[in-house]
């Protein structure tokens, strides 16, 4: 047992997570392939946004408004169901996954079904549809290529949109060979031809076609299905029975709403203006004039959704349109993969969904989140995923106890004060292998983890001789957070000096740290208390029109994105509007400044996330490196082998 494990209250689920993580980190090949897929998905999205000049901010706003009001409106589901029935379809409300399965079994039995063809439906994956149906003697075959690969491999999807992104062509060819019963060479076209032939036979002989739905439109009782391969069109028209499984959160009032969601979904999911096929189905059509045996069923699934809707901490998760964009930016998900960083729903948004739908005990992987906030930034519905993840961590910790190493880093504000007061002795001690061995066994701080050094002379002491400046250009509160105060005050001095020389008045009031580690480790109440204290201390400065500037990316992120949730109100909103990352602040104001920051990263402007550019694999080489380097790169250097995330400076 390592020190890390000793310090963690090792519930069975945490143990399983650690061993899965170790395995995942060893599987370099899958991991590299997966990382490449994420990178490509991000690039496709960015290319589309640029090509079509899409205003992501506007897309986020309209999508959020549509989803917020739809999810909250309980009558929509009724209206949708009424219209499906009016058109001759049958509707079944399934409280649980088991209810949904039972309904499908009943339909299958009645029509004597032996074979179901299924087009990609995450909602049916959620209820383990194929395995359950198999038990009653009905085989259910996935027809989306990625889903088929996953089904043949006996796995769960590694990504919502790219379910088999971790598989190589060779592995896929072997799996397909097994299914068709003859050797398929590892060539793209050979695999496609084999799959087309294999599934064509099944399409033509299946008794029931099961599809999901991206959107339900209440006013006409219609569903919208988006696919690229064309399997969705066949599943919904060849078999005599078409059965839809739709989550109750997918229903919107009107067609105009659906249009915006289709655009928001495809651009974020695959970087397409729209998927190749967008099908709108209102009932099961006749075939060559014959309606004999042609039935249409819609199963509306609750399975924890109404509970989520009524819980203010998690209702926003229902706004998810399943585009998978949050997965493509998540650094730890990208390295660990969706089987480790996920249950059935993988990735960042998978954390609240898993906790709510499958249970807290399945959501232990929440601890792999490093709270960088990129998922919220890229989400086309602007879902506050990081805050929901903090909530899941909080609940998990309440149930199973806090991790020792997290307790240690949450105490780092006080520890930094102590280490600074005792420097350079503390630095000498921290370099000793013996100290690190003790820290590892007592607190679980992995000995490979880089620890900062501490400075005896703190920032305020150092800048005192500089004065507070003329203020001819404006007034700034400089917020050093722990790093630029205790560890590298020279960083703070340089930043303050630049601000002063540009004509700003600079104040460094005594504030607490940003409290970021509390969010990272699920101690929301402590984070809220720090937020309130800091905001109150800032009030007089905000009243006088000071801006708030920090070299610490996590601190700016806290002020802009987290404090308004932790301490909602006019004060937090004012602080949000006044907060700036150091470089952004001087760049926005002084285009002609001699000092030039490195060229801006390929993320939307105004990014406030600690990870200021898309993460690179296992390293920090793509982060801006300059005299005023923030702490972001240190996050990634800390080494995931230690299992638990590093704190902010």
Q: In the complex, what is the shortest distance from the CB of residue 66 to another protein, in angstroms, rounded to a whole number?
A: 13
Radius of gyration of the chain (CA): 27
The smaller minimum CB distance to another protein, of residues 163 and 352, is found at 163
Q: Binding another protein by CB under 8 A: which of 11, 156, 237, 453? A: 237
As measured in angstroms, the least distance from the Cβ of 389 to another protein is 27
| Tokens of residue 281, six digits | 């189905």
Smallest distance, another protein to C-beta of residue 248, A: 21
How many angstroms from the chain centroid is the CA of residue 492? 32
Q: Which is nearer to another protein, 114 or 200 (CB)?
A: 200
Binding mask 175-214 for another protein (x = CB under 8 A): -------------xx-xx--xx--xx--xx----------
The runs of H, that is alpha helices, within 509-642 are 516-520, 524-543, 553-557, 563-566, 570-578, 582-589, 632-637
**Smaller CB distance to another protein: residue 293 or 569?**
293
- Structure token digits, residue 113: 């079904």
* Interface pick for another protein out of 8, 18, 66, 234 (rule CB under 8 A): 234
Shorter beta-carbon distance to another protein: residue 269 or 575:
269
Q: Which is nearer to another protein, 338 or 492 (CB)?
A: 338
**What interhelical angle do 145-153 and 169-180 show, nearest 10?**
80
Selected from 270, 364, 406, 420, the binder of another protein by CB under 8 A is: 270
C-beta of 222 vs 579, nearer to another protein: 222
Residue 170 Cβ vs another protein, minimum distance, rounded to whole Å: 10
Q: How far is the CB of 176 from another protein (least distance, A)?
A: 10
DSSP conformational letter for 161: S
**Binding footprint of another protein, residue count (CB under 8 A):** 74
Q: Would you give the binding string for another protein spanning residues 1-40, x where CB under 8 A is met?
A: --------------------------------x--xx--x
Residue span binding another protein (CB under 8 A) among the ranges 102-110, 260-268, 467-475, 527-535: 260-268
Q: Judging by beta carbons within 10 Å of its beta carbon (0-12, 13-18, 19+), is residue 202 exposed, middle or buried? A: middle
Alpha helices (H) in 52-154, listed in sequence order: 56-72, 75-86, 97-111, 122-126, 129-135, 145-153
DSSP-assigned letter for residue 342: B
Q: What is the DSSP letter of 518?
A: H
* Cα–Cα distance list, 71 to 53, 77, 225, 257, 282 (Å): 29, 10, 19, 13, 21
CB of 180 to another protein, least distance (A): 15
Q: Do the bridges between strand 295-301 and strand 504-507 make them parallel or antiparallel, or are there none, so unpaired?
A: unpaired
- ∠ CA 345-346-350, nearest 5°, is 65
Q: E-assigned strands of 410-569? A: 474-479, 504-507, 547-550
Exactly one of 231, 268, 371, 514 binds another protein (CB under 8 A); that residue is 231
Our CB check for another protein shows the closer of 88 and 540 to be 88
What is the contact mask toward another protein in residues 83 to 112, using x (rule: CB under 8 A)? Answer: ---xxx------------------------
Report yes or no: 230 and 32 within 8 Å, Cβ to Cβ. no
CA distances to 84, 170, 496 from 226, rounded to whole Å, are 20, 28, 53
Contacts 24+ apart (CB under 8 A), 458-461: 458/420, 458/485, 458/486, 458/489, 459/484, 459/485, 459/489, 459/492, 459/493, 459/496, 459/508, 460/485, 460/508, 460/510
Q: Figure out which of the listed residues 116, 248, 262, 389 binds another protein, where binding follows CB under 8 A.
A: 262
Q: How far is the CB of 617 from another protein (least distance, A)?
A: 15
Q: Which is nearer to another protein, 119 or 607 (CB)?
A: 119
In the bound state with another protein, the residue whose beta carbon lies nearer, of 200 and 432, is 200
Interface segment toward another protein; rule CB under 8 A; list 106-114, 267-275, 388-396, 611-619: 267-275
Report phi then psi at 116, rounded to 5.
Answer: -115, 130
d(CA 125, CA 210): 12
Interface of this chain with another protein, residues 113 to 172, rule: CB under 8 A? 143-146, 149, 162-165, 167-169, 172
- Shortest CB 149 distance to another protein, Å: 7
> Taking CB under 8 A as the criterion, which residues in 365-404 touch another protein?
none
- Least Cβ distance, residue 337 to another protein (angstroms): 15
Nearer to another protein, 112 or 289 (CB): 289
Q: Name the residue nearer to another protein (CB basis): 283 or 460.
A: 283
Cα 508 from Cα 231, distance rounded (Å): 61
Instruction: Tell me: does residue 614 bind another protein (CB under 8 A).
Output: no
Q: Which is nearer to another protein, 184 or 363 (CB)?
A: 184
Q: Helix 255-270 crosses helix 28-51 at what angle (to 10 degrees)?
A: 130
Cβ 64 to another protein shortest distance, Å: 17
The distance of closest approach from Cβ of residue 193 to another protein in the complex, given in angstroms and rounded to an integer, is 9
Residues 271-300 binding another protein (CB under 8 A) are 273-290, 292-293
As measured in angstroms, the least distance from the Cβ of 58 to another protein is: 12
Q: How far is the CB of 172 from another protein (least distance, A)?
A: 6
The smaller minimum CB distance to another protein, of residues 139 and 220, is found at 220
Query: What is the rounded distance in angstroms from the CA atom of residue 310 to the CA atom of residue 647?
Result: 33
Pairing, β 241-247 against β 208-211: parallel
Angstrom distance (rounded) from CA 229 to CA 231: 6
Binding residues for another protein restricted to 37-76, rule: CB under 8 A: 37, 40-41, 52
């Amino acid at each position: 047992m390592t020190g890390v494990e000793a310090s963690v209250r090792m519930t069975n689920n945490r143990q399983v997570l650690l061993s899965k993580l170790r395995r995942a980190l060893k599987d370099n090949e899958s991991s590299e392939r997966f990382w490449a897929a994420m990178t490509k998905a991000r690039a496709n999205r960015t290319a589309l946004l640029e090509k079509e000049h899409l205003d992501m901010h506007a897309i986020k706003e309209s999508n959020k408004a549509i989803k917020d009001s739809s999810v909250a409106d309980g009558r929509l589901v009724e209206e949708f169901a009424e219209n499906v029935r009016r058109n001759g379809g049958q509707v079944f409300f399934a409280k649980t996954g088991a209810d949904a399965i039972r309904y499908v079994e009943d339909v299958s039995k009645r029509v004597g079904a032996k074979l179901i063809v299924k087009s990609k439906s995450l909602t049916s994956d959620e209820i383990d549809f194929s395995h359950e149906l198999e038990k009653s003697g009905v085989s259910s075959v996935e027809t989306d290529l990625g889903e088929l690969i996953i089904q043949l491999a006996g796995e769960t999807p590694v990504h919502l949109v790219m379910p088999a992104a971790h598989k190589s062509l060779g592995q896929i060819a072997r799996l397909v060979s097994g299914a068709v019963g003859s050797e398929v060479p590892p060539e793209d076209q050979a695999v496609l031809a084999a799959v087309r032939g294999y599934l064509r036979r099944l399409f033509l002989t299946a008794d029931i076609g099961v599809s999901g739905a991206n959107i339900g439109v209440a006013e006409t009782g219609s569903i919208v299905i988006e696919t690229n391969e064309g399997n969705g069109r066949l599943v919904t028209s060849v078999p005599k029975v078409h059965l839809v499984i739709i989550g109750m959160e997918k229903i919107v009032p009107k067609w105009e709403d659906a249009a915006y969601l289709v655009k928001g979904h495809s651009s974020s999911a695959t970087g397409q203006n729209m998927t190749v096929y967008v099908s709108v189905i209102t009932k099961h059509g006749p075939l060559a004039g014959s309606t004999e045996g042609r039935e249409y069923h819609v199963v509306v699934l609750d399975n924890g959704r109404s509970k989520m809707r009524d819980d203010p901490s998690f209702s926003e998760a229902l706004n998810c349109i399943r585009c998978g964009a949050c997965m493509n930016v998540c650094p730890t998900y990208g390295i660990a993969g969706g089987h480790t960083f996920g249950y059935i729903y993988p990735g960042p948004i998978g954390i609240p969904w898993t906790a709510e739908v499958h249970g807290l005990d399945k959501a232990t992987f929440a601890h792999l989140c490093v709270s960088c906030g990129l998922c919220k930034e890229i989400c086309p519905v602007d879902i506050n995923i990081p805050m929901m993840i903090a909530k899941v961590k909080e609940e998990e910790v309440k149930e199973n106890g806090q991790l020792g190493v997290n307790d240690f880093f949450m105490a780092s504000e006080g520890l930094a004060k102590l280490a600074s007061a005792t420097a350079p002795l503390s630095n000498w001690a921290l370099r000793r292998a013996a100290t690190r061995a003790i820290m590892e066994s007592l607190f679980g701080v992995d000995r490979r983890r880089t620890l900062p050094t501490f400075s005896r002379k703190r920032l305020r002491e150092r800048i005192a001789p500089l004065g507070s400046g003329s203020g001819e250009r404006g007034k700034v509160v400089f917020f050093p957070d722990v790093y630029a105060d205790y560890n590298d005050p020279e960083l703070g001095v340089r930043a303050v000096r630049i601000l002063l020389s540009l004509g700003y008045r600079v104040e460094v009031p005594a504030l607490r740290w940003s409290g970021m580690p509390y969010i990272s480790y699920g101690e929301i109440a402590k984070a809220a208390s720090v937020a309130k204290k800091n905001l109150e201390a800032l009030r007089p400065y905000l009243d006088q029109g000071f801006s708030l500037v920090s070299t610490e990316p996590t601190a700016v992120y806290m002020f802009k994105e987290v404090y308004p949730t932790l301490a909602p109100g006019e004060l937090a909103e004012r602080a949000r509007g006044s907060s700036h990352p150091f470089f952004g602040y001087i760049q926005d104001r002084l285009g002609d400044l001699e000092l030039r920051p490195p060229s801006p990263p390929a993320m939307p402007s105004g990014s406030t996330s600690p990870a200021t550019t898309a993460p690179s694999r296992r390293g920090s080489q793509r982060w801006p490196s300059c005299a005023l380097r923030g702490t972001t790169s240190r996050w990634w250097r800390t080494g995931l082998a230690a299992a638990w995330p590093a704190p902010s400076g």
